[in-house]
């Protein structure tokens, strides 16, 4: 979109001893949607990174575990979580607009009468708001 969505984050967790892990995540099948003509964001992915014991060297392979999973993870394996990116906002007006960053979106007007102000929303924003007004 005119203002691109956020990038996802990659996290890898490696246990120091065998354990049972559980993951409950969203946006692994359906993309985060764009608004006002912006493109959808990328979906997230969850993997177990395993070592190939049959081959020489340090080759690894990924096992997609989906969005909701519970199972054992062993020492030497890693849980890799790739969070989804955000959807874009607005239709690009030009080549230059499609390359703007989210920082630009915070300070540049979208047209002569409107300014785009990003704002926090959701449970954490509501919690912070109540803490700041007390």
> Contacts from 45-51 at CB under 8 Å and sequence distance 24+?
45/82, 46/79, 46/80, 46/81, 46/82, 47/79, 47/80, 47/82, 48/73, 48/77, 48/78, 48/79, 48/80, 49/12, 49/77, 49/78, 49/79, 49/80, 50/77, 51/76, 51/77
Please determine, for residue 60, whether its predicted confidence score (pLDDT) is greater than 70.
yes
Listed ranges 59-63, 69-73, 85-89; the one with the highest mean pLDDT: 69-73
Please determine, for residue 6, whether its predicted confidence score (pLDDT) is greater than 70.
yes
Query: Residue 54 and residue 25: Cα distance in Å, rounded?
Result: 32
The better pLDDT of the pair 57, 109 is held by: 57
> Is 77 within 8 Å of 48 (Cβ atoms)?
yes
Plot region of 110 (φ>0 → left; ψ -120 to 50 → alpha; else → beta)? alpha
CB burial class (10 A; 0-12, 13-18, 19+) of residue 119?
Answer: exposed
pLDDT band at 128 (very low <50, low <70, confident <90, very high): low
Give the pLDDT confidence score for residue 36 in this predicted structure.
86
What is the mean pLDDT of the segment spanning 88-117? 55
pLDDT tens, 91-103? 877 555 545 444 4
Please determine, for residue 125, whether its predicted confidence score (pLDDT) is greater than 70.
no
What is the mean pLDDT of the segment spanning 102-115? 47
Average pLDDT, the chain: 78
Q: What percentage of the chain has pLDDT greater than the value 90?
A: 35
């Amino acid at each position: 979109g005119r203002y691109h969505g956020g990038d996802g984050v990659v996290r890898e967790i490696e246990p120091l001893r065998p354990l049972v892990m559980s993951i409950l995540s969203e946006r692994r099948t359906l993309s985060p949607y764009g608004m006002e003509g912006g493109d959808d964001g990328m979906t997230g992915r969850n993997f177990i990174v395993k070592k190939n014991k049959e081959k020489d060297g340090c080759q690894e392979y990924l096992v997609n575990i989906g969005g909701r999973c519970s199972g054992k993870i062993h020492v030497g394996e890693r849980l890799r979580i790739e969070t989804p990116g955000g959807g874009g906002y607005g239709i690009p007006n030009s080549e230059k607009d499609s390359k703007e960053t989210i920082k630009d979106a915070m300070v540049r007007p979208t047209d002569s009468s409107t300014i785009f102000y990003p704002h926090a929303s959701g449970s954490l924003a509501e919690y912070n708001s109540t803490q700041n007004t007390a």
